[in-house]
């Protein structure tokens, strides 16, 4: 019985790893939904690729010029960190690489300019390991 429980436990653990959800943050900017998916879960110190998907209220991809701003406020022994990177892509899917130089909470802001020149943004925090 103990062996069976152990075996089940191992199978479930492997399954949990295999199906580990990506680190995803979905936010609304008015009627537009912005989903950010990080290639590492949790995001780690150093380079992380983030894929930003932008859709309108009808789930149609939104063309935009996209930039990702990321920052960490000053803390003991560390000046404020503040960076910007342009996200490349088209048809509503954009990718950027964030170089997160320290573990802890980072403020991320995705800013995008719509074809009509309107600027929208979403903001969130990621906890970096």
Measured from the CB atom, the residue of 29 and 72 that comes closer to Cu ion is 72
Dist. CA 19–CA 81, nearest whole Å: 34
Other CB atoms within 10 A of residue 54 CB: 26
- For Cu ion, the binding residues (CB under 5 A) are 72, 75, 78, 102
Measured from the CB atom, the residue of 22 and 42 that comes closer to Cu ion is 42
Q: Kindly state the tokens that stand for 115.
A: 């074809």
Least spacing, CB of residue 84 vs Cu ion, in Å: 18
Measured from the CB atom, the residue of 82 and 88 that comes closer to Cu ion is 82
| DSSP, res 29 | E
Least spacing, CB of residue 43 vs Cu ion, in Å: 14
Least spacing, CB of residue 97 vs Cu ion, in Å: 19
| Strand partners of residue 87 | 66
Tell the residue number behind the tokens 């802890």, with chain if given. 104
């Amino acid at each position: 019985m103990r062996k069976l429980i152990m075996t089940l436990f191992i199978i479930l653990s492997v399954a949990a790893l295999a199906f580990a959800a990506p680190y995803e943050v979905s936010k609304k900017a008015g009627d537009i939904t912005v989903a950010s998916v990080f290639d590492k879960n949790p995001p780690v110190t150093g380079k992380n690729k983030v894929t930003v998907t932008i859709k309108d209220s009808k789930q149609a991809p939104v063309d935009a010029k996209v930039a990702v701003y990321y920052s960490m406020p000053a803390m003991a022994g560390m000046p404020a960190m503040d960076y910007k990177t342009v996200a490349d892509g088209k048809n509503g899917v954009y990718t950027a690489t964030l170089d997160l130089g320290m573990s802890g909470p980072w403020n991320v802001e995705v800013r995008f300019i719509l074809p009509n020149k309107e600027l929208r943004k979403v903001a969130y925090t990621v906890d970096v390991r």
